[in-house]
Structure 1
Amino acid sequence: MLLSSRTPRTAALLAAGVSLAVLAAAAPQSATPLGVGDRLFPHLGNPGYDVQSYDIAFTYQGDNSKPLDAVTKIDAQATSMLDRINLDFSHGTVHSVKVNGLRADFTTKGEDLVVTPTRSVVQGEPLHITVEHTSDPVPGKEEIGWVRTKDGLAMANQADAAHRVFPCNDHPSDKAYFTFHVRTPKELTAVANGRSVSTTRAGDTTDWTYRTEHPMATELAQVSIGRSSVLRREGPHGLEVRDVVRTEDVKTLDPWLAETPAQIAWMESKVGRYPFENYGLVIADATTGFELETQTLSLFERDLFTRSEYPRWYVESVMVHELAHQWFGDSVSPRTWSDVWLNEGHATWYEELYAQEKGDRPMEKRMRAAYGASDAMRADGGPPAAPKSPAPGEKISIFRPVVYDGAALVLYALREEIGKEAFENLERQWVSTHRDGTATTADFVALASQIAGRDLNGFFDAWLYGKKTPPMPGHPDWKVEPVKTAEK
């Protein structure tokens, strides 16, 4: 995600939903919300099972103010004995739940859908869950999940909002394969993550099916519905590049989108081959305040490309920021949300490097400015690898400046510490070693130490967890500005 510089980076995007309305018969009274113990989102995710795949069907009637009918099928494996199964889900109505083909009782607690199967599920047993529900695109007291555009819908699920769209294990540590089925009125187009499997037109509706070829975190899911055209071109090695834009915007936006294949080639020259089956941009006619790296199909605001005050180098570097996330954050996902600096720090790094190489905007200048502001960023948002918890009701507020420029500054210091050659080797090995998986800060520290040939734990402890910014290697003249305190 890149919070737009057109709004304050610390501005909070409302990222939750409203309470789930359900009709639950004989619901258990002892149901409790669970979580996987994430420090920043304690109730996010659920223990006891490992999701292998999601199969999700949406029926969109053409009105983005009305709930979509939906069916979510989850194939998982139990990792412990389960008398109850918790799913993350809110902002929709559940009609029925089946577990392994048998109807199950259900209720809600917090933002969990708590399911009681007819019989307990034993450890190691396959787990097949089917939930018939609605998916409400109208924001509640807190937003994000579905984004209502001028001509339809798109998704923005980071960090804590996929479960406002469909029932799931909504934590990046549990990646899975996805299949999407979307039924729309015949005049609309639906596009989702992965490859197109089929498109079937019958009467006044069209059925669209897409499937991912690589596992994906729930927060990276994307479904776009609108009066859209899909623009196709070829990227490096014959890679399919497809972009989704309003049909009336094709002429205006196509020159920007034509830059994507060269940007992919540039990223491949830095870190290795693109990790997925295809790539492209969804350009939404909506105001979000951010761009978002949904897997294979990044979400962008139309305004980024149509407002004349944004210089070309800036727009292209923002495009590269979300592209870089396909390696850093999507292919290699954070094990916990405290590891988000690995996502945003790297995306910011390559955004800056691209601006330097293609737009003559020296990275050192931006890094020196970030160094001066680093103590203030840490005071506001915590150290890069131990960010402060989100503000109440503002879950997106974990995306503070310290995980962007503050985290990129850590990478700059690391390159100065171990040298350019070792740093570039580290970057390539990182995305290769952990491709299609999850990884932690400790994993990054261990790999960096291995490549550098020395223990870097002390270096990383200071840069990633210190309240104060350490001296910048190779730049003894760089100074950190004192943190201004509020007057009493």
Structure 2
Amino acid sequence: MKKSHFNALFFIFFFSIQYLASSHLIFLNEPSFVEFNGYFRSRFAKTSDEPLEVQKRNYDVLRYDLYLDWYNALKNPKSMDSTDIVWFGSNTILLKAEVENLSSVVLDAASLLIDSVLVNDNGIWRKVLPTPKIVAQKLTVPLPRSLNIGDSISIKVFYTYNRFVDESQYRGFYLYPKGKYVGRLPAPFYDSVFVEERLAYTMSEPEDARYWMPCNDAPYDKADAKITVRVPSGYVVASNGFLSKVQAEADTAIVYFWVSDKPITTYLMAATASKFHKYSDWYKKVTNPLDSIEIQYYVWEKDFKATKTDGSEYNATNTFKTTPEMVKFFSQIFVEYPFVKYGMVALMPFNFGGMEHQTITSINRVWLRQNTQFGIAHELAHQWIGDLVTCATWKDIWFNEGGATWSEALYAEKLWGENGYNAFLLSSRSAYLKKGGISLPPIYDLPVNTIFGDYAILVYQKASWFYHMLKEMVGDSLFFKTFRSFLQDYSFKSVTTEDIKNYFKNKISNPQVDFDTFFDQWLYKAGHPVYTLSSIVHSYTNDSGYFDAKIILSQVQTGNNVPEIFVT
């Protein structure tokens, strides 16, 4: 996900040292890789607690079969009273027991009215009585018989969404009427903007999927998924995976059947409906140019027909035209694009810049006026770093967001060479320092409510430097070879920070800084090195013209959970 307020400002900082007749330009100004010539190489002891294991539930979800009846919520284009927000859903969940004697299943659910719950016992659906209720965002379903490890069972939950709240309190499901005034935006035009067509969509990261479907709302648990959505005729639904069929119901309703082609976690599941214009590009696979992947775009008709490129119109075709080449670029540096399709759907209002829903990214419609290429690159890169391989817990979110932000730097390098890469990283460095720098906490294990808020600068910008420094330490060739192997070996799985560290430890011998230390000082601990530089100059009386200089470089950083010495 890309926060809407993170703009890539290309500031370049120069630090020069004048020595004799030579001027040395340190373009990157990377304090983590200043050499000490053998000094200050002692290992520091790890004082923080070891990272916790993933706290998994006692079952594993194998499949979600989700049905969303949005007909009522969309049938009246401009009305928004308490009856217009209501819609009905069901979720059939196939799961497997991970423990012996599993007698009940706890699901995440919030602000939903549970109509009934059924459990499939040996091929027979049995209604659970009394009907389970949501307590503290948990829905506990008793099972008709205890399960042993490896046993599977299906649970079907029928529910009603009737959360009539102010728009500022929306969670998970968002509904906006046609003609709604959005505001005066974007710069420099600041013209009045309105919702073009009635719009419904889901947005779940990090833990809001429970507000629109009962589920195991945790990133470690990936499952197969089907999402079926019923809407009024004339509406188009975009969702994950491929569209298996579209079924009309007389002249009044239409049902879209979407199927995820690969396992997916709940926060990456999504559905969006409006009167969209859909059009497509095609990406020819780098591994097989005879095979192509469709890139689908869902935009309002006005945005598809726009022709101006000066920012005065929402121009979808101009903004999206680079996408096939972007897919090719990331397929070349990572691995082949891993899903059945890619797509983007433009939303307004939308409280973020973009969100990397698996195979169908949601973007802020403003990007169509601002031609936000780096936002598009960020969300696309997530299809590899975040969707193909996903953070196992929200403690590990740096893997997703740091990786996608670093991928923006890679895309800048593609466009403008090494200077573009360096400049992008320097803009991230500047943003991190401005936000607090050494006073900020470690990247790892931030409170969930801060990872896209107060401490987003850590999981995006600072974490992007973790990728960069790891690449610089082991070298480009070995890094990308290892990272590609990592993406392949962990495809469609979720990983912890320790999984990533151990993978690199097993693949790369004798790194410049051992991986335990490297991960500890940059992820599990806070801050960055702060240096002082002093010198002593000895002159000679002969006519050689030379003098002897001793330069002392010292680390002097202090702070809460900041290493006394960063090993570089």
TM range (shorter): 0.7 to 0.9
- SS of equivalent residue, structure 1 residue 70: strand
Deviation at 1:245, TM superposition (A): 1.1
Tell whether the 8 Å contact from 2:71 to 2:253 is kept in structure 1 after alignment.
no
- For residues 66 and 236 of structure 1, do their structure 2 counterparts lie closer, same or farther at Cα, with a shift above 3 Å needed? same
**Cα displacement (A) at 1:378:** 5.8
Is residue 4–residue 354 contact of structure 2 (8 Å, CA) maintained in 1? yes
1:330 paired with 2:393, answer no
Pairwise CA RMSD: 2.9
Is this contact kept in 1: 2:389–2:492, CA < 8 A?
A: yes
Residues 123, 180 of structure 1: alpha-carbon distance in 2 compared, 3 angstrom cutoff: same
CA distance in 1, matches of 2:265, 2:454: 18
* Equivalent residue runs for 1:36-435 within 5 Å: 47-63=57-73, 65-80=84-99, 81-100=101-120, 101-104=125-128, 105=130, 106-136=132-162, 138-139=164-165, 142-149=169-176, 150=195, 151-203=198-250, 204-237=252-285, 238-251=292-305, 252-306=315-369, 310=370, 312=371, 315-358=372-415, 362-371=420-429, 374=432, 382-390=441-449, 396-397=452-453, 400-435=456-491
* Alpha-carbon distance change, 99 to 399 in structure 1, aligned in 2, over 3 angstroms: farther
- Which of 422, 440, 443 lines up with 2:499 in the alignment? 443
Q: Distance in 2 between matches of 1:242 and 1:362?
A: 29
SS at match of 2:215: coil
1:78/1:399 Cα in 2 relative to 1: closer, same or farther (>3 Å)? farther
Q: Deviation at 1:123?
A: 3.5
- 1:139-172 per-residue CA deviation (whole Å, 9 max, x = no partner) reads 5784331233442211211000001110000101
1:359 Cα offset (Å): 5.2
Q: Distance in 1 between matches of 2:3 and 2:208?
A: 16
Query: Is 1:58–1:183's contact at 8 Å kept on the other side of the alignment?
Result: yes
Say which of 461, 471, 476 aligns to 2:520. 461
Report the 3-state secondary structure (helix = DSSP H, G, I; strand = E; otherwise coil) of the residue aligned with 1:200.
Answer: strand
Deviation at 1:330, TM superposition (A): 0.6
User: Contact between 1:6 and 1:289, CA under 8 Å: does it hold in 2?
Assistant: no
Amino acid corresponding to residue 434 of structure 1 in structure 2: Y
> In proportion to residue count, which structure has more strand?
2
Q: By how many angstroms is 1:283 displaced?
A: 0.7
Q: In 2 relative to 1, CA 269–123 (structure 1 residues): closer, same or farther, beyond 3 Å? A: closer
Alpha carbons 2:219, 2:391 under 8 Å: kept: yes
8 Å CA contact 1:284, 1:300 repeated in 2 = yes
* CA distance in structure 1 between the aligned counterparts of 2:426 and 2:460, rounded to whole angstroms: 14
Question: Where do 5+ consecutive residues of structure 1 fail to align?
Answer: 9-38, 484-488
In structure 2, the gaps of 5 or more residues are 9-50, 75-83, 177-194, 286-291, 306-314, 532-551, 560-568
- Distance, in Å, in 2 between the alignment partners of 1:268 and 1:159 is 27
In structure 2, relative to structure 1, the CA distance for the partners of 1:383 and 1:268 (3 Å cut) is same
Deviates more, 1:347-356 or 1:292-301: 347-356
Instruction: State the alpha-carbon separation in 2 of the partners of residues 463 and 339 from structure 1.
Output: 13
Amino-acid identity (%)? 24
**TM-score for the superposition, normalised by structure 2:** 0.72
**2:14 matched residue in structure 1:** none
Superposition deviation, residue 289 in structure 1: 2.8
More moved, 256-265 vs 401-410: 256-265
Instruction: Give the match for residue 14 of structure 1.
Output: none
Contact 1:135 1:166 in 2 (8 A): no
Which amino acid in the other structure matches residue 461 of structure 1? Answer: D
Cα deviation digits, residues 257-289 of structure 1 (max 9, x gap): 222111100111110100111101011121313
The residue aligned with 2:187 is none
Higher mean C-alpha displacement, 142-151 vs 350-359: 142-151
8 Å Cα contact 1:383-1:464 kept in structure 2 = yes
Distance 1:377 1:126 in 2: 49
Deviations 1:383-433 (A, max 9, x none): 122324535xxx853761100011011111112211111121122112111
* Contact 2:85/2:175 (<8 A) preserved: no
Normalized against structure 1, the TM-score is what?
0.83
Counterpart Cα distance in 2 of 1:111 and 1:437: 26
Instruction: Work out the CA distance in 1 between the residues paired with 2:380 and 2:163.
Output: 27
- Are 2:353 and 2:364, in contact at CA under 8 Å, matched by a contact in 1? yes
Give the Cα–Cα distance (whole angstroms) in 1 for the partners of residues 413 and 243 of structure 2.
36
- Offset, 1:468: 2.3
Letter matched to residue 282 of structure 2: E
**Of 251-260 and 72-81, the range deviating more from structure 2:** 251-260
Of stretches 62-71 and 399-408 in structure 1, the one that deviates more from structure 2 is: 62-71
Cα distance in 2 for residues equivalent to 1:402 and 1:190: 35
The one-letter code matched in structure 1 to 2:296 is R
How many angstroms apart in 2 are the aligned matches of 1:55 and 1:436? 19
The change in CA–CA distance for 1:368 and 1:482 in structure 2 (over 3 A counts) is farther
How far the C-alpha of 1:334 sits from its partner, in A, is 1.1
1:31 alignment partner in structure 2: none
- Report the more deviating stretch, 269-278 or 58-67: 58-67
Q: Distance in 2 between matches of 1:353 and 1:479?
A: 30
Deviation at 1:7, TM superposition (A): 8.8
**For residues 220 and 518 of structure 2, what CA distance do their matches in structure 1 show?**
27
What is the Cα deviation at residue 293 of structure 1? 0.3
Task: Verify the 8 A CA contact 1:232 1:241 in the aligned structure 2.
Answer: yes
CA distance in 2, matches of 1:429, 1:138: 48
Question: Structure 2: which amino acid aligns with 1:94?
Answer: I
Secondary structure in structure 1 of the residue aligned to 2:102: coil
Instruction: From the superposition, tell whether residues 372 and 299 of structure 1 become closer, same or farther in structure 2 (CA, over 3 Å).
Output: closer
Cα distance in structure 2, aligned partners of 1:450 and 1:463: 20
CA gap of 1:481–1:356, structure 2 versus 1, over 3 A, is farther
Structure 1 residues 146 and 478: alpha-carbon distance in aligned structure 2, compared to 1, 3 A threshold: farther
Structure-2 separation of matches of 1:381 and 1:129: 44
Measure the CA separation in 2 of the matches of 1:337 and 1:177: 21
Count of residue pairs the alignment pairs up? 438
1:452: how far off? 3.0
The DSSP-based 3-state class of the residue aligned with 1:84 is strand
